[in-house]
Amino acid sequence: MKSTFKVLFYLKKNEPKKNGRVSIMVRVTVNGSNTQFSSKLDILPDDWDTSKNRAKTGKGYSSENTALNRLLDNMKSELTVHYNRQHALNGYVFPEQIRNAFLGLEEKGNTLMTCFTQFNEQYERKVGTLTTRKTYTRYELTRQRLLDFMREHYHTSDMPLRKLNTAFVENFYLYLRQTCGIAHNTATKFLQRFHGILTYAKNSGLEFIDPFVHYKFTFERVDRGYLEQFEIDRIYAKEFVSERLRRVRDVFIFSCYTGLSYIDICNLREEHVKTGFDGRLWIMTKRQKTGTDSRIPLLEIPRQILQRYAGEAKNGKLLPVISNQKMNDYLNEIGVLCGIEKHITFHLARHSYATTICLSNGVPIESVSKMLGHTNIKTTQIYARVIDRKVSHDMTELERKLDARRRCLESYPTSK
């Protein structure tokens, strides 16, 4: 059954203005419930017909009253349109919904920046428990990039969700690539976070057409760098005068032989190093990024590094870890001193562990994936490519076996 709907205009006589005029109020009633708000119009009390809820017109009254009645009629028609739209969408209507839609309050809450700000405020409260500060800052950066983009391309600082379309998404992508100089994969990550905000808005009950509905996220395959064994050995064996470089080198080499990321080494505590079922020391921890288990047998070199700093690091940490930015600065310096031309970052150690330390020495990719704490072996395949030296080694082994078989066959007497 359709709900009852009524619009009534009345005067707010208890608060007259200095010129004697009073405000015309609007009352919207739906099924007995109502809400009131100002029409932003006013009139002299004597010019108002209380029985008709309209301005008096005709002989002796100003033509201004006729124009005022047209405004009131237009207002009632607009309120009726909002009522019908809400009823068609939801099957029910609250008077506050009609008021908000008419005054533009509904639109103000249904904007991109409003939703993004709400999402980020909630996300920040999860930092330290359900998510990390780094991930939160990425959402903040995405919000800022969108804000800068809208100001440059649309000359506005916000956009109603209903006005977002495929062209907006494509233009934002091009802005990231061309104006910000961001690579394709990184730009796609920005778009994924943008889409995440729209999903949040949808789940919050807001109604709009998703501009990503036909958008397909694609990533280019990236050849991730790594250090070869002789480069790792050169860094490990190098004598540094500077204590800070020695410490950075040790933490980096530790990662090269364990595959732990920067943040997971930061979180490494004594309770994470345990004796395993085989009597060897293992690192048993959870990756902060994914929360998955990471179990890594401790090789001799990282074990010696842990012994070197036993009881020395602060706040219960096992290793003297400094900020990631400083770590990367010093690693560049180490690379120059060691005559290594590659751009060395801390994450390069994780790639080197997967590729050089493990795969090239015959460790199965399933074992590498488990130690890296990956949830999908495809992720490991991105990190760990089979390098030429491993292919050469495998083919040499194959050639040796085939040659032995050939010699064995040749030793048999030929039958006549």
In the numeric block, the tokens 């345990």 are attached to: 274
- Residue 411, in any domain of the structure: no
319, with CB counted inside 10 A (0-12, 13-18, 19+), is: buried
Domain count, the chain: 3
> What is the SS3 assignment for 227?
coil
Task: Let me know whether 89 and 120 are in one domain.
Answer: no
Task: Let me know whether 381 and 291 are in one domain.
Answer: yes
Q: Which domain holds residue 68?
A: 5-103
Residues near 224 by beta carbon (within 8 Å), at least 6 away in sequence: 351, 382, 383
Task: Let me know whether 367 and 279 are in one domain.
Answer: yes
- Residue 69, in any domain of the structure: yes
CB burial of 152-162 (b: ≥16 within 10 Å; e: otherwise) equals eeeeeebeebe
Q: Tens-digit pLDDT profile for the chain (416 aa)?
A: 556 899 999 999 888 888 899 999 999 999 888 999 999 999 999 999 999 999 998 887 888 999 999 999 999 999 999 888 878 876 778 888 788 778 866 555 688 998 999 999 999 998 877 777 888 999 999 999 999 999 999 888 888 888 899 999 999 999 999 999 999 999 999 999 999 999 999 988 888 889 998 888 988 876 668 899 999 999 999 999 999 999 999 999 999 999 999 989 998 998 999 998 888 999 998 887 777 888 899 999 999 999 999 888 777 789 999 998 999 999 999 999 999 999 999 989 988 998 889 888 888 888 888 888 887 777 777 665 555 666 777 788 888 888 888 888 877 765 54
Q: Determine the Cα–Cα distance for residues 333 and 235; give it in Å rounded to an integer.
A: 11
From 37, 69, 103, give the residue that closes a domain: 103
Q: Name the H helices within 204-341.
A: 229-237, 243-256, 262-266, 300-308, 324-337
- Residue 71, in any domain of the structure: yes
pLDDT at 242: 92
DSSP secondary structure letter of residue 414: P
Task: Let me know whether 181 and 82 are in one domain.
Answer: no
> The domain spanning residue 147 has which CATH number?
1.10.150
Bridge partners, 317 (sequence order): 269
Q: Name the H helices within 95-211.
A: 95-103, 105-109, 112-124, 133-153, 166-174, 184-203
- Tell me how crowded residue 187 is: count the other CB atoms within 10 A of its CB: 19
Q: Determine the Cα–Cα distance for residues 298 and 307; give it in Å rounded to an integer.
A: 12
Task: Let me know whether 21 and 125 are in one domain.
Answer: no
DSSP secondary structure letter of residue 356: I
- Residue 220, in any domain of the structure: no
> What is the pTM (predicted TM-score) of this model?
0.57
**One-letter amino acid identity for 228?**
E
Task: Let me know whether 172 and 152 are in one domain.
Answer: yes
